[in-house]
Chain A
Amino acid sequence: MSDQDHHHDRAIERAIEHLTASDPERHLALVGAEDLERSYTDLLALLPFADQPQLPDSAIKTALLRTVSGEASDRLGESVPSRQAPAAVRRSLAPQPWTFALAAMFGLCLMGLAFLGGRVSEQREQIGALEALIEKTGAESAEQNRLLQAQLQHSARNLEMITTVAREAYPMHLEAGAVPASIGAAATEPRGVVWVCGRHQRWYLNVQGLQPPPSGFAYTLWFVTEGGFVNGGVLEVNADGPSELDAPFMPIGTNSFQVTLERGGPRGKPDGRPLLVADQSIAL
């Protein structure tokens, strides 16, 4: 083998090894500025160009630019009232005599806090079980270990969401007149909570008691913003535990949340009736 062949082999091995770096920034730093290493890294990154591009839903770009606009305004030091929306959530309750309204809110808070407290315990139990499993798995399988570690980090992030200060919780309640997918078969009504970090960015949805949707349907989370609905993703029904969704960012101006049952593929606005609604926050 010539020196040049050896040089190419080493560059290829490094490019392939660096693929396992979890952080692309670190990956590219490892590649270095050497032309040969760079060319093999660029070559690997060409592979996806062989596939037909896929047209994204327009709602994704809308939400992205809204989020970015909010951050750009923050950079300029301007106040952005829409991002402070959680402090002034619209109330869906009609005006009531103050004594009845106070009693109803107190009851709701008690129920909500009990439910929220249950979610904290649940997350802690889940993390404990994962840690025990990781210890047991040990070096049996590097891939399995990595999977479990990733799941542990995911659960830890969700626990941090629930327990950190300066967060809000939006309890989700069954919408009046809404019927769960399995009529009469559910042992408990579905209930959920949307946890939102301070600065109204990172969010985490936890829903209990969802029954499997009918064939061709999917539960969908919606952010209700001043500009309309933004698709928050499909909620998969989990037979072993809660159904969860989370993301590091949420659309600017979100002031409530809905879960609906939708037919077919992705859409820009809900077609189905609201099943679960969260429009009142509890500051924690």
Chain B
Amino acid sequence: MLSSIRSAAPMSCPEPNERSTNAAIDGGLIRRIADGDESALSELYDRYAGLLLALARRILLRQSDAEEVLQEVFLQVWNQAGRYDTRRSAVSTWLVLITRSRSIDRLRSRQVLDRTLGALQQENRGIHTSPEGIRSVLWEQRRRRLQRALADLPAEQRQVLELAFYRGMTQSEIAEGTGIPLGTVKTRTLLAMKKLRKALEDEIRDLL
């Protein structure tokens, strides 16, 4: 009777073990990729390509560039899975940092920074968002929690984080670019990070 009640329950709250299995699944896929298992790469791609493409596009503002970075990222994963160390970070952290790094490198090499506004106006490629890109209820809940946590930050604190993460700017460059004193930039960053960490404690724990 218990099993039939569970199967009938609406999927509004994930089972506790669903969270811990995400990290385990990712770790298992990386190990299989390191052993040369192409199906594991395909599975990892299906899990993260939507997220990473959105990240690359947010940084690069051009769909074609973002798609190239996406392919490069997964080729790098294929070639370097054996070097990934679970103690250093979550798999998702590794993927996000690779994507961010490649995107920012490309951004700088193509001088997109100077044409950012023009690209925003001229970019006419269709952006395909899709509910199929959300892998599970847990991921959708994570997305909403992130959005709430970021929305709860004061705009000026959100700004310094976004400039550092999405534009690759150092704190000195942010200070210079915005006219805000460096000390203020540092303070806002510390406050933002601490507030986010408190709001997203569960999410961070799930990455372990």
- Interface residues, chain A, with chain B CB atoms under 8 Å away: 8-9, 12-13, 15-16, 19-20, 22-25, 27-29, 31-33, 38-57, 60-61, 63-65, 67-69, 71-72, 75, 142-143, 146-147, 150-151, 153-154, 216, 233-234, 247-249, 264-266
Contact = CB atoms under 8 A, between A and B. Distances in A.
A42 B207 contact: yes
Interface of B: 36, 38, 41-42, 45, 49-55, 57-58, 62-64, 67-68, 70-72, 74-75, 78, 80, 83, 85, 87-90, 92-94, 96-98, 100-101, 105, 108-111, 113, 124-130, 132-134, 139, 142-143, 146-147, 150, 161-162, 164-166, 168-173, 186, 189-190, 193-194, 196-197, 200, 203-204, 207
Given A55-B50, A72-B36, A61 B89 contact: no
Given A28-B89, A54-B127, A47 B146 contact: yes
- Identify whether the interface residues of A are mostly helix, strand, loop, or mixed: helix
Nearest to B78: A68
Nearest to B197: A43
A50 B147 contact: yes
A64 B88 contact: no
Nearest to B142: A49
B53 A49 contact: no
Contact of A55 (B38, B41, B94, B133): B133
Given A16-B164, A55-B129, 12 more contacts: A19-B164, A24-B101, A28-B88, A42-B204, A45-B97, A47-B165, A50-B143, A50-B147, A51-B54, A55-B132, A60-B70, A72-B36
A45 B51 CA distance: 11
Contacts of B193: 12, 15-16, 40, 43
B75 A39 contact: no
B134 to A, nearest CB: 6
- Identify whether the interface residues of B are mostly helix, strand, loop, or mixed: helix
B28 to A, nearest CB: 18
7 contacts: A25-B83, A38-B88, A40-B193, A55-B53, A68-B38, A150-B109, A265-B124
A8 B194 CA distance: 8
Contacts of B108: 146-147, 150-151
A43 B207 CA distance: 10
Contacts of A266: 63-64, 67, 125-126
A265 B162 CA distance: 28
Kindly list the 7 A-B residue pairs having the minimum CB-CB distance in the complex, ordered from nearest.
A53-B50, A53-B133, A265-B126, A50-B146, A45-B93, A24-B97, A55-B130
